[in-house]
Structure formats: structure tokens, C-alpha cells
Amino acid sequence: MMCQNSTFKVAEVTEEKIKILELPYASGELSMLVLLPDDVSDLEKLEDKISFEKLKEWTSPNVMERKRVKVYLPRMKMEEKIKLPAVLKALGMTDLFSPSADLSGISSQKSLKISEAIHKAYMEVNEEGTEATGSEEVTADIKRSSEFEEFKADRPFLFLIKHNPTDIILFFGKYCSP
């Protein structure tokens, strides 16, 4: 398990029986959010209930607090490669793959079409963290305590990577066997 002591944004959503941890990436533009149910049996309920609107509500600035936290996360590495033509065609983007595709906005070459499109995602959490930074010098809104609150992901949880300026979710996953 990865262990890190630092200051992070956390929330406890008691009515949903979950704890939320935000691990910012070094750039500051991305964050990993970990949604940890209080009990293993609450994961399915969380999956049924979660939506973009709920996620925004649970992670809003008036819910998330900066605290000193001792974080335990399992080491994990996820890599996924998905061929997109079937997905894009199902979404109605059939012209892109035909010889009659109009791609004049990106090339002057005639009869240009897309033959393959691949989406590849990679994420790793190891002893160094998830490239998370947590050593900011913010003192005004940090909950004061000499003790570290513990956030221990020792049971299944949901996680996501989001682009902070736009709130777009780039990666969403479920970790089942810590």
C-alpha cells in the first residue's frame, strides 16, 4: 500500500456513507478523486446513485475541507486500449470511415478517411503516489490539528481523474480487491 502524509481536500458525505479524497496532480489541472464507501456492501449503492450532478455536489468547495491526512491507497496500475470505430459508428459518425468523408478542414488531400482510431488510457498509483502534490503551503483554510486524519482504502472504491478547469471526467474506475 502507498502511504502519504500531507494536506488534502477531503469530505465525508454521511447520508451516502462515503468518504472522498482529492489527490491533485503536479500540474494542478488534474485531480484523482477517491470515493470510499464506509462498508464494502455500500459500493453497489454508490454505483447506482452516482451521477455527474451528485459528484459535483459531493465535491463542491463548501463540502470539501483541507485537512492533514494520512492516506493509504493500494498500488494499482490500469491500462486500457479501446478501438473506437465501432463506438464512433454507433454514435452516428459513419462518414469519417467512408471514402466520401469530408476531412478538408484537416487536410487538402482528396479521398481521405479514417481507417483506425484508438483510445489508450493509463494510470498508476505506487509508493510515490499518483504524481499527487500535497505539499502546498496553504494555512488559512486548513483544519488545524496536530493529528493526521486517516483515509485508508482497504476495501473496494470508485476513483476518477478529472480536469479541474472544466470538471470533465477523463477516467473513471472501480478498484475491487485492495
pLDDT along the chain (178 residues), means of 10: 87 94 88 93 90 93 92 85 86 84 83 82 73 38 64 93 91 84
Would you state the pLDDT for residue 35?
96
Write down all domains in the chain, each with its CATH number in brackets.
2-75+126-175 (2.30.39.10)
Residue 30: CB atoms within 10 A of its CB come to 19
- The pTM (predicted TM-score) of the whole model is 0.76
In this structure, the strands spanning 157-163 and 30-37 are antiparallel
Where would I find the beta strands (DSSP E) of 14-137?
A: 18-24, 30-37, 65-73, 76-83, 118-125
What pLDDT shows up at residue 145?
53
Q: How confident is the model at residue 32, as a pLDDT? A: 92
Could you give the dihedral angle defined by the CA atoms of residues 154, 152, 60 and 145, in that order, rounded to the nearest 10 degrees? 170
Which element (helix H / strand E) includes 151?
strand 149-152
